[in-house]
């Protein structure tokens, strides 16, 4: 008999705090964590999670939080969705591991077929499975080099593609992520991302797409790297760790045009923005662009470790032995992914679109109401709120953003920062109006009280 999360006591849709934070049991665990766990982790506040259900998290002291972070945009169907839990339990009792690199397995094919069918483009696709976002990106780097027989790569300022040595070479989000690790992959070039709010060095916000495309063709390709040597351009259609910044539709279309003209593969890193979060399976679908390679992870299996790199059959032309993974495509993770995709298709992708519009309507006047809010932007349930010291100069206000994050935690609302000065809203895709009203009432009262001083 399957036991589906019957033991959880979470019986509320809104936060309920019963101790000062952190509570006594949390404090005990924090002490041990400080002694035994890697100090490289970035914890913003002391949430010690114990149980999860839907959009709610209960900590070890019985405090219940509303989770608008979803384990960094991972728990797409919420915490411990009964259908996902049932799929995991059933699969775990049948077969836990078999190694898709060495043997065959029905559901591995089922998931590959499903992913191929939901990926844009008419060409048949094939799928390589891994365990994390960075592995999907590593696989894409290797495939792009192998297929094109070229070895240069282009990525963007502010990009986050992962922390292993290949993906880290593409990452240009924070120097602390690269500092101390010596020489990274050679032949990686970075260019400005089309940020229509802020612009970046030399890029005008109102002409961000044209300026960035011009930089690529007239600066990068003319002076620093010949396009004939470039294997791939990696882009997050919506930058995640960089601050929830959306690449405009015309930029993505222009980028695709330039890639096709020069035989360069366009790789969409959809690790954070994909799997239904923006209201479509892939964020890139909003622009009509068909990338040559898509990388996905995070939301694909509701929290089980799984990633996929998807490419047309004509591109995925490497031979047996060229790449593989012992655990990638683990049967239990695949069962979770198949259940997750079913839920996204039948309910949660549409809910993400609807609730995203609800939030953007609700925050439409925030720039007028709050002098520290510079910009509210996003698509579906991937929304960034950027804080500034001055709306005219757009001077960044990380201290305001950080204070909002801390005070939200103290009120039972889990949110995370992103980029230098942006608050990220990335809840599970099942949140409703009541929860959203609570979250945004809470944020409004926090911002108002910070502005009052």
- Relative to beta strand 265-269, strand 56-59 is unpaired
In angstroms, give the least distance from the CB of 162 to ligand PLP. Answer: 4
In angstroms, give the least distance from the CB of 157 to ligand PLP. Answer: 14
In the bound state with ligand PLP, the residue whose beta carbon lies nearer, of 236 and 375, is 236
Report how far residue 420's alpha carbon sits from residue 218's, in angstroms, rounded to the nearest whole number. Answer: 29
Detail the DSSP E strand segments found in 21-177: 49-53, 56-59, 64-67, 125-130, 152-156
Binding mask 288-307 for ligand PLP (x = CB under 6 A): ---------x----------
Q: In what order do the strands lie in the sheet with 56-59?
A: 49-53, 56-59, 64-67, 413-414
Report how far residue 423's alpha carbon sits from residue 443's, in angstroms, rounded to the nearest whole number. Answer: 10
Q: What DSSP state is assigned to residue 227?
A: G
Taking CB under 6 A as the criterion, the residue among 59, 61, 67, 269 binding ligand PLP is: 269
In angstroms, give the least distance from the CB of 449 to ligand PLP. Answer: 31
Binding mask 60-99 for ligand PLP (x = CB under 6 A): ------------x---------------------------
In the bound state with ligand PLP, the residue whose beta carbon lies nearer, of 28 and 163, is 163
In angstroms, give the least distance from the CB of 163 to ligand PLP. Answer: 7
In the bound state with ligand PLP, the residue whose beta carbon lies nearer, of 58 and 269, is 269
First to last CA, the chain: 56
Report how far residue 195's alpha carbon sits from residue 212's, in angstroms, rounded to the nearest whole number. Answer: 9
In the block, residue with structure tokens 């036991």: 3
Residues 127-146 that bind ligand PLP (CB under 6 A): 132-134, 137
Q: Binders of ligand PLP: how many residues, by CB under 6 A? A: 15
In angstroms, give the least distance from the CB of 298 to ligand PLP. Answer: 6
In angstroms, give the least distance from the CB of 370 to ligand PLP. Answer: 27
Q: What DSSP state is assigned to residue 230?
A: E
* Residue-wise burial string across 41-76, b where 16 or more C-beta atoms lie within 10 A, e elsewhere: eeeeeebbeebbbbbbbbbbbebbbbbbbbbebbbb
Binding mask 146-175 for ligand PLP (x = CB under 6 A): --------------xxx-------------
In angstroms, give the least distance from the CB of 68 to ligand PLP. Answer: 16
Backbone angles phi, psi at 31, to 5 degrees: -60, -45
- Relative to beta strand 230-235, strand 125-130 is unpaired
In the bound state with ligand PLP, the residue whose beta carbon lies nearer, of 160 and 366, is 160
Distance of CA 290 to CAs 192, 255, 367, 447, Å? Answer: 22, 11, 35, 40
Binding mask 221-260 for ligand PLP (x = CB under 6 A): ---------------x---xx-------------------
In the bound state with ligand PLP, the residue whose beta carbon lies nearer, of 256 and 307, is 307
In angstroms, give the least distance from the CB of 166 to ligand PLP. Answer: 11
Give contact residues for ligand PLP (rule: CB under 6 A).
Answer: 72, 132-134, 137, 160-162, 236, 240-241, 269, 271-272, 297
């Amino acid at each position: 008999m399957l036991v589906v999360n019957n033991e959880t006591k979470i019986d509320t849709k809104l936060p309920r705090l019963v101790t000062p934070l952190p509570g006594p049991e949390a404090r005990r665990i924090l002490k041990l964590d400080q002694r035994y766990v890697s100090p490289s982790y970035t914890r913003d506040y002391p949430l010690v999670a114990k149980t999860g259900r839907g959009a709610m998290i209960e900590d070890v002291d019985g405090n219940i939080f509303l989770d608008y972070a979803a384990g960094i945009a991972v728990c797409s169907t919420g915490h411990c969705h009964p259908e996902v839990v049932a799929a995991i339990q059933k699969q775990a009792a049948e077969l836990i591991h078999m190694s898709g690199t060495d043997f065959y397995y029905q559901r591995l094919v089922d998931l590959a077929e499903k992913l191929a069918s939901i990926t844009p483009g008419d060409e048949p696709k094939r799928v390589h499975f891994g365990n994390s976002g960075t592995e999907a990106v590593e696989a894409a780097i290797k495939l792009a080099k192998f297929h094109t027989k070229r070895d240069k790569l282009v990525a963007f300022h502010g990009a986050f593609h992962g922390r292993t040595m290949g993906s880290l070479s593409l990452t240009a989000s924070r120097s602390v992520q690269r500092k101390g690790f010596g020489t990274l992959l050679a032949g990686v070039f970075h260019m400005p991302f089309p940020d229509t709010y802020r612009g970046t060095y030399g890029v005008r916000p109102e002409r961000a797409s044209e300026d960035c495309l011009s930089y690529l063709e007239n600066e990068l390709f003319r002076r620093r790297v010949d396009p004939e040597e470039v294997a791939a351009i990696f882009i997050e259609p919506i930058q995640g760790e960089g601050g929830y910044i959306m690449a405009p539709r015309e930029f993505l279309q222009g980028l695709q045009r330039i890639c096709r003209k020069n035989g360069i593969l366009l790789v969409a890193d959809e690790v954070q923005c994909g799997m239904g979060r923006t209201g479509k399976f892939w964020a890139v679908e909003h622009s009509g662009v068909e990338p040559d390679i898509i990388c996905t992870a995070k939301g694909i299996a509701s929290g089980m470790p799984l990633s996929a790199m998807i490419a047309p059959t004509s591109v995925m032309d490497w031979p047996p032995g060229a790449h593989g993974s012992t655990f990638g495509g683990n049967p239990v993770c695949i069962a979770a992914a198949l259940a997750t995709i079913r839920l996204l298709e039948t309910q949660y992708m549409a809910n993400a679109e609807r609730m995203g519009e609800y939030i953007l309507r609700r925050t439409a006047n925030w720039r007028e109401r709050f002098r520290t809010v510079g910009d509210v932007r996003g698509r579906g349930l991937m929304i960034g709120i950027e804080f500034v010291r001055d709306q005219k100069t757009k001077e960044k206000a990380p201290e305001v953003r950080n204070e909002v994050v801390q005070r939200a935690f103290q009120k039972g609302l889990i949110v995370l920062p992103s980029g230098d000065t942006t608050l990220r809203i990335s809840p599970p895709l099942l949140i409703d109006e009541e929860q959203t009203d609570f979250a945004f009432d809470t944020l409004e009262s926090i911002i108002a009280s910070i502005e009052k001083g």
